[in-house]
Amino acid sequence: MSTDAARAHRSDETDEESGVDETDGEPAATDEPLEFGFSGLRAGFIACVPVALGVAGYGVVFGVLARQVGLTTAEAVLMSATVVAGAAQLIAVELWEPSIPVVAVIVTTFIVNLRYVLMGAALQPWFSRLPPLQAYGSVFFMADENWALTMGHLRSGGRQGAYLLGSGLAIWLFWVAATWVGAVGGGAIGEPSSYGLDFVLVAVFIVIAVGLWEGRSSLLPWVVAGTVAVACAQFLPGRWYILLGGIAGCLVEVARFDE
């Protein structure tokens, strides 16, 4: 979902490149039907529990921070249970104010989550063989971590269509439970700055950035993004500098792609 997410994503990429490119020549994606049953659900769930424990760390932090910005415990838990996207939720909390900047929150959520389009596309050669309800139901529970696990399973010849759902349920359970723990705990905390809690959100994003770092190729788009964000933060109202910086970094990456 966030750092572990990115890390799982990254290591997956280095192993097998982006799933989308290779699907044509993918040996495992034959016409054999996928199974979709309890054994796959169980296998995915068990494989994902250790990863889900890592996700739970972020869940606690999200719960605490959500309470600090004025969400109730029920609202924080509802968000975790239904949005199921760690990085986007943490960014939403960063943007959150008493008068909710609705458009900024929703547009930023969409942009941050655009990478899921790629991940879903990578699953498509297998999931196109499942009934739509199973395929489109499973992707609701797709996060970076269980996507990476599922791609590993399918590419190595696994035929368990329920693997994504099983591993996703593990993440969902830990994510939601950890959010609740953090929110209840966070509600008991008084003035945040006296505990250094006002710094936690910054710290979380630094940790997430470390996970997303892909080596020197990240440097140029990140520098551009940061520079544009700092400049826009000076001259524009609100938090639009976040999107503008992100889009600037993205455009640089697109423009220099041929190199």
Partner 1 sequence: MSELRPVVVAVIFGMVLVTYLTKAGGLWLLGRVELSERLEAGLEILPGAIVVSILAPELASGGPAELAAGGVVLAVAWRTDNVLLALGCGVGAVLLFRSIG
Give, as ranges, the residues between 107 and 136 that touch partner 1 (CB under 8 A): 108-124, 127-128, 135-136
CA 4 to chain CA centroid, nearest Å: 9
Residue 209 in the binding site for partner 1 (CB under 8 A): yes
Q: CB of residue 88 vs partner 1: minimum separation in angstroms?
A: 7
Which one-letter DSSP state was computed for residue 34? Answer: P
Residue 42 main-chain phi, psi, to 5 deg: -70, -45
Residue 257 in the binding site for partner 1 (CB under 8 A): yes
3-state DSSP assignment of residue 17 = coil
Can you tell me the distance from the alpha carbon of 44 to that of 170, in angstroms, rounded to the nearest whole number?
8
Residue 29 main-chain phi, psi, to 5 deg: -85, 65
Single residue of 15, 157, 203, 238 touching partner 1 by CB under 8 A: 203
In sequence order, the 6+-apart residues with CB closer than 8 A to the CB of 224 are: 248, 249, 252
Q: CB of residue 32 vs partner 1: minimum separation in angstroms?
A: 18
Single residue of 37, 131, 157, 226 touching partner 1 by CB under 8 A: 226
Least Cα distance to 24 among 120, 124, 116 occurs for: 124
Q: CB of residue 42 vs partner 1: minimum separation in angstroms?
A: 23
First to last CA, the chain: 30
- Residues 1-40 within binding reach of partner 1 (CB under 8 A): 3-4, 6-7, 18, 20-21
Single residue of 15, 49, 72, 189 touching partner 1 by CB under 8 A: 72
Residue 79 in the binding site for partner 1 (CB under 8 A): yes
Residue 200 in the binding site for partner 1 (CB under 8 A): yes
- Number of neighbouring beta carbons within 10 Å of residue 217: 12
Least Cα distance to 62 among 86, 97, 96 occurs for: 86
Single residue of 8, 47, 165, 228 touching partner 1 by CB under 8 A: 228
- Residues 135-154 within binding reach of partner 1 (CB under 8 A): 135-136, 139-140, 142
Question: x/- site string to partner 1, residues 156 to 195, per CB under 8 A?
Answer: -------------------------------x-------x
Least Cα distance to 171 among 191, 153, 147, 151 occurs for: 147
Q: Which is nearer to partner 1, 79 or 170 (CB)?
A: 79
